[in-house]
Structure 1
Amino acid sequence: MNDMNLPSYLDQSPEVRDRFERLKQRPVTLEVKGLHKQFDSVQGKVTALKDINFKVHKREFVCVIGPSGCGKSTLIRILAGLEQATEGEVLLNGEAVDGPGPDRGMVFQGYTLFPWLTVKKNVMFGLEVSGRGGLPEQEAMQWIDLVGLSKFADHYPHQLSGGMKQRVAIARALANQPRILLMDEPFGALDAQTRAKMQSYLMEIWKNIDVTILFITHDLDEAVYLADRVLVLKAHPGEVQEIIEVPVPQPRSVGQQLSPEFLATKKRLEALIHPPGEKEAEGDHLNMMRMVRVDDDVSDIF
């Protein structure tokens, strides 16, 4: 598959087309080749990921979406070196990934801060563990300032909102200056308003830091708003179904979510994840017993 091809359902403006042409010329930061992942179960071998192939270019923002159970989190854990693939390889700047490393930052959905450490100490932790020279405290404060939390440097995680905690997690992940930032549904537990703010924060950080981002999400609006390209996985097993170039011009704004380009891209993603005529999965049907009078129908109210 040529993962940089223009999808036929949308035309790109000359500006967007030129941007993708320039993107193709950038070095490849991450390359995934022939990736398979199997698990043992009581029923035997279960294939979670099958023949995954794609490339991510320097300073690119790629989102990964797919139906529940398609292996999104398994994929990102393999990229982070937290799990081993059954077959295939992951290359970061041409070198094989065989375990965790400071060249990859990771942000999870859950709040992974150390509750007994302050914001500053949480960010310093990664610097100290990696053996970075210099002044960890001074460097940590630079990253804390980047995410707009300088006033909260001496606060503990329980004193922060959910969005603030994730901003600290992003600062901690970026402090080691990784080549790629891997994010596994980092805003999934946030309310809608905070989530929108975090998306804007992340876009600003990405514009100002030399980092490539691979972002797992189940939210189609989020994927279209953030990504240069969206990688769509099939389920059971997880396979690359399509890689879509997002034709919404950069820089992005909330107002673009009503643009024809945005809505058409979202519609295409919906069609890929929930194709027309898709059979209802076992267990999805609600077989409910009626517990009100037959003549008591809520549809009569409207």
Structure 2
Amino acid sequence: MQSSTVKDRFERLKQRPVTLEVNNLVKVFDTPQGDVTALQAINFTVHRREFVCVVGASGCGKSTLVRILAGLETPSAGTIRLNGAAVEGPGPDRGMVFQGYTLFPWLTVKQNVMFGLRCTGHSRYTAEQDALQWIDLVGLNRFADSYPHQLSGGMKQRVAIARALANQPKVLLMDEPFGALDAQTRARMQAYLLEIWQNIDITVVFITHDLDEAVYLADRILVLKANPGEVQEMIEVPVPHPRTPAQFLSAEFLATKRRLEELIHPPVTVTEDADRLNMVRMVAVDDAVGSVF
């Protein structure tokens, strides 16, 4: 059960203006085997300064959805509106962070963060000063003149976040940005991201396959089911803010994760021959593993 404090927070959240609105979104891919519907009848809204995670089984269209929100893919039907204006392609009102390290290897940290600012017409001086502020925000001011190959994976993603935020977008879109990081670095990056989100005016849509990560970060979690990708449920996360790693064992955290697992990995009835591998035994009969000796 949600505490009164958490309920009050969601009531306040619902009173904020809607930043992102998705209506009847459909995406159909034309393949040699015929049309494949990746997304069907997707409807949801995201409020200003909300943190929404999107989860779902493999193949449910999570990455396709975020690419459409970024304007990198064209929907087959439906509309996306950002602060009331139709989204019809990429734009500086949306920042994007990918799972892979998408920094320009021939540019320094500062030059990478300056890149978008220069493309949108900022002078070199203004772009440099703004870039240094964002680099300081992500804690990399000592590495402003370093090149990507001189940085760790977590540091590269912090630069990518700074670059995405430099144009001061309304929405930050993140497609499994920490998926390639080791567990310790991932935990640090989650904490960095929450701190950044709490201190700047940004709305976040975050794609992840990690259920712990979704519950730890999100205000609400959009659950997609696969084949085709459809909205299965929108879950309000009852874990109170500020979030801390200690909450991973709280009743609210575990109950939310359990609900996600029920939705994404429902129990199945396995017949005797289902999913059985056609294996030829290549060890001695008495060389047993996975059994009682």
Using structure 1 for the length normalisation, give the TM-score. Answer: 0.93
Find the counterpart in structure 2 of residue 127 from structure 1: 117
- Take 1:291 and 1:91, find their aligned partners in 2: how far apart are those partners? 59
- Take 1:55 and 1:65, find their aligned partners in 2: how far apart are those partners? 16
Find the counterpart in structure 2 of residue 96 from structure 1: 86
Q: Which letter does structure 2 place at the counterpart of 1:14?
A: S
1:286 shift after superposition: 4.0
- Take 1:255 and 1:13, find their aligned partners in 2: how far apart are those partners? 18
- Take 1:200 and 1:234, find their aligned partners in 2: how far apart are those partners? 28
1:132 shift after superposition: 3.0
Aligned runs of 1:251-266 on 2, under 5 Å?
Answer: 251-266=242-257
- Take 1:176 and 1:272, find their aligned partners in 2: how far apart are those partners? 37
Are residues 1:272 and 2:263 paired?
yes
Find the counterpart in structure 2 of residue 161 from structure 1: 152
Residue in structure 2 matching 1:116, options 101, 106, 112: 106
1:285 shift after superposition: 5.2
- Percent of matched pairs sharing the same residue: 75
Find the counterpart in structure 2 of residue 77 from structure 1: 67
Are residues 1:298 and 2:280 paired?
no
Q: Which letter does structure 2 place at the counterpart of 1:131?
A: G
Find the counterpart in structure 2 of residue 39 from structure 1: 29
Residue in structure 1 matching 2:168, options 172, 177, 195: 177
Find the counterpart in structure 2 of residue 203 from structure 1: 194
- Take 1:190 and 1:285, find their aligned partners in 2: how far apart are those partners? 33
Are residues 1:22 and 2:3 paired?
no
Are residues 1:53 and 2:33 paired?
no
- Take 1:253 and 1:101, find their aligned partners in 2: how far apart are those partners? 34
- Take 1:125 and 1:278, find their aligned partners in 2: how far apart are those partners? 53
Deviations 1:90-113 (A, max 9, x none): 000000000000000000000000
Deviations 1:167-217 (A, max 9, x none): 000000000000000000000000111000000000000000100000000
Secondary structure in 2 aligned to 1:213? strand
1:276 shift after superposition: 1.4
Using structure 2 for the length normalisation, give the TM-score. Answer: 0.96
1:298 shift after superposition: 1.6
1:135 shift after superposition: 1.0
- Take 1:153 and 1:286, find their aligned partners in 2: how far apart are those partners? 53
Deviations 1:230-276 (A, max 9, x none): 00000000000000000000110000000000001000000000111
CA separation of 1:279 and 1:169: change in aligned 2, threshold 3 A? farther
1:43 shift after superposition: 1.9
Secondary structure in 2 aligned to 1:70? coil
Deviations 1:148-180 (A, max 9, x none): 000000000000000000000000000000000
- Take 2:281 and 2:206, find their aligned partners in 1: how far apart are those partners? 43
Secondary structure in 1 aligned to 2:284? coil
Q: RMSD across aligned C-alpha pairs, in angstroms?
A: 1.5
1:278 shift after superposition: 6.2
1:277 shift after superposition: 1.8
- Take 1:122 and 1:278, find their aligned partners in 2: how far apart are those partners? 51
- Take 1:208 and 1:19, find their aligned partners in 2: how far apart are those partners? 17
Instruction: Give structure 1 stretches of 5+ with no counterpart.
Output: 1-10
- Take 1:148 and 1:106, find their aligned partners in 2: how far apart are those partners? 20
Q: Which letter does structure 1 place at the counterpart of 2:231?
A: V
- Count residues with an aligned counterpart: 290
- Take 1:216 and 1:162, find their aligned partners in 2: how far apart are those partners? 19
